């Protein structure tokens, strides 16, 4: 019913390799059989249409089978990846979870709450008779938000034929980027390669071993590949596309990636948990300008903030105010510049630092600092100040160790020569390592 299109594709390609998980291959035929197995098991476990189910897993063939079975059963799915204990109870309560499916040597189904608890967004899904998806934001800019989707609206895009590719699913199970990669790969009879070991060496080894053609990842991970020089140890010539998103891309990193991989198309993507991943086109390989274009959605810019209208936009948040305009446009919170049909993402409006009434973009300052000698990584953030409201601060990771006091003095002089006085970092901290979360997004302090 809900996944007939996928099952039809899988049956047409039953002998082909659907997935490679931790160096073990799985066929499309196996996937179809396991989906059927899990549909039956879910039913026997009391999981029915409208059940709210947490799937705590990674991109193993078994968990992929389960997510298809949950969709077919009409469930509301909450994919999580090893949720932090302090957030688990809060997420379970806000999502009114009925069941948890988790993996510990084998998959187990655990009832959590069989009470009939409702919410207007769940009622809307029930009225439509559609399965749902709840995506939890990373919480890098505040409390994690729970976005409720009509799953069928998100899946419509995968009915459109795409390219059959071998794709490394670097992004995680609880991230729409990861799910988007999974559905795209499998709907086009490609091969989805996955691993829990996301070290730079292992990712490069997998690309070489399985002739991976597309690597979707984050700018932070690309930075780690450059610093580790893992790319020098392996043959990565199978790569055709590197796509990046989830955070801003430093221009110096983009330039280096283009130099190291001249044969590879470097593509910026744009997506949010509230709208999914939009079709996009980079102006060129070494450009941060991006075109967002498709008949499936519309874009407009109001007061410098990007707004989007699409059938695949979420129904709403479970735990946050309505982010829609009166005429139904989703306010992304991303501040942008416009050049013809292209956008340049300047950063989240919530990340702007207000210094004595002046607006400071962290990204602008980071670009200046990234070009300074011996800087491996930088994160610019605001800190409360009783006089100015906020001051600009920077956390730096060095490529090689040097006297911190001398380095900070040189860096401040460099910033003063390039930036207005109110944009120059007042506080500069030196860190011994690049800090990033489990989604390989840098941590903003």
Delimit the domains of the chain by residue range: 4-155, 166-309+321-349, 352-431
This prediction's pTM: 0.89
In this structure, the number of other CB atoms found within 10 A of the CB of residue 267 comes to 17
- pLDDT at residue 123 tops 70: yes
Kind plus residue range of the DSSP H or E element containing 380: strand 375-385
Q: What is the pLDDT of residue 140?
A: 59
Q: Give tens-digit pLDDT for 219-250.
A: 999 999 999 999 999 999 999 999 998 888 88
What is the pLDDT averaged over residues 176-187?
96
Pairing of strands 106-111, 99-104: antiparallel
Which 8-state DSSP code applies to residue 145? P
Instruction: Summarize the confidence of residues 433-437 as an average pLDDT.
Output: 78
According to DSSP, the β-strands at 214-217 and 241-244 are parallel
Residue 87 has a pLDDT of 64
Q: Residue 344: pLDDT above 60?
A: yes
- Please tell me the distance from the alpha carbon of residue 221 to that of residue 244, in angstroms, as a whole number: 10
Please report, for residues 174, 310, 403, 422, the alpha-carbon distance to residue 363 in angstroms, rounded to integers and kept in the order given.
Answer: 26, 28, 26, 15
Provide φ and ψ at 152, rounded to 5°: -65, -35
pLDDT at 243: 96
Phi, psi of 201 (to 5 degrees): -65, -45
Whole-number percent of the chain with pLDDT over 90: 73
Q: Output the CATH code of domain 166-309+321-349.
A: 3.40.50.12780
Q: Indicate if 166-309+321-349 has the same CATH topology as 4-155.
A: yes
Can you read off the two tokens belonging to residue 38? Answer: 């899990």
pLDDT at 425 over 70: yes
Of the CATH numbers 3.40.640.10, 3.40.1370.10, 3.40.50.620, 3.30.300.30, which one belongs to the domain with range 352-431? 3.30.300.30
Neighbours of 118 (CB within 10 A): 10
Instruction: Quote the crossing angle between the two packed helices 28-44 and 61-72, to the nearest 10°.
Output: 60
Mean per-residue pLDDT, 255-276: 94
CATH class, 4-155 region: alpha beta
Residue 190 CB neighbour total at 10 angstroms: 23
The predicted structure's pLDDT at residue 434: 80
């Amino acid at each position: 019913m809900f996944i007939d299109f996928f099952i039809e594709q899988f049956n047409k390609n039953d002998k082909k390799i659907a997935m490679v998980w931790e160096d073990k291959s799985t066929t499309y035929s196996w996937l179809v059989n396991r989906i059927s197995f899990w549909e039956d098991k879910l039913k026997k476990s009391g999981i029915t249409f409208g059940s709210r189910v947490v799937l705590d897993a990674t991109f193993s063939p078994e968990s992929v089978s389960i997510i298809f079975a949950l969709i077919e059963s009409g469930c509301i799915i909450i994919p999580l990846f090893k949720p932090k204990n302090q957030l688990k109870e809060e997420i379970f309560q806000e999502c009114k979870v009925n069941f948890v499916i988790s993996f510990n040597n084998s998959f187990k189904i655990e009832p959590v709450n069989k009470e009939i608890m409702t919410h207007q967004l769940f009622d809307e899904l029930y009225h439509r008779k559609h399965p749902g998806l709840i995506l939890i934001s990373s919480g890098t800019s505040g409390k994690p938000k729970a976005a409720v989707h009509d799953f069928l609206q998100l899946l419509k895009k995968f009915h459109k034929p795409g390219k059959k590719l071998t794709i490394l699913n670097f992004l995680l199970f609880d991230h729409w980027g990861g799910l988007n990669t999974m559905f795209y790969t499998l709907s086009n009879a490609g091969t989805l390669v996955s691993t829990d070991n996301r070290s730079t060496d292992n990712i490069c080894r997998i690309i070489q071993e399985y002739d991976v053609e597309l690597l979707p990842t984050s700018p932070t991970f690309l930075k780690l590949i450059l610093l580790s020089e893992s790319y020098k140890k392996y043959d990565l010539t199978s790569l055709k596309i590197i796509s990046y998103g989830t955070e801003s891309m430093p221009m110096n990193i983009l330039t280096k990636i283009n130099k190291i991989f001249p044969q590879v198309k470097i593509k910026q993507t744009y997506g949010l948990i509230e709208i999914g991943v939009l079709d996009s086109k980079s102006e060129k390989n070494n450009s941060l300008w991006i075109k967002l274009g498709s008949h499936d959605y519309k874009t407009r810019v109001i007061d410098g903030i990007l707004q989007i209208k699409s059938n695949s936009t979420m129904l709403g948040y479970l735990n946050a105010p309505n982010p829609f305009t009166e005429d139904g446009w989703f306010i992304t919170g991303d501040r942008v510049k416009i050049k013809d049909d292209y956008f340049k993402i300047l950063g989240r409006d919530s990340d702007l630092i207000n210094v004595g009434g002046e607006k400071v973009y962290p990204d602008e300052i980071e670009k200046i600092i990234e070009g300074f000698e011996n800087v491996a990584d930088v994160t610019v953030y605001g800190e409360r100040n009783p006089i100015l409201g906020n001051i600009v601060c920077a956390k730096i990771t060095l490529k090689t160790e040097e006297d911190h006091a001398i380095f900070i003095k040189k860096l401040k002089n460099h910033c003063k020569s390039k930036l207005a006085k109110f944009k120059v970092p007042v506080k500069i901290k030196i860190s011994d390592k690049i800090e990033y979360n489990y989604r390989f997004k840098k941590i903003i302090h």
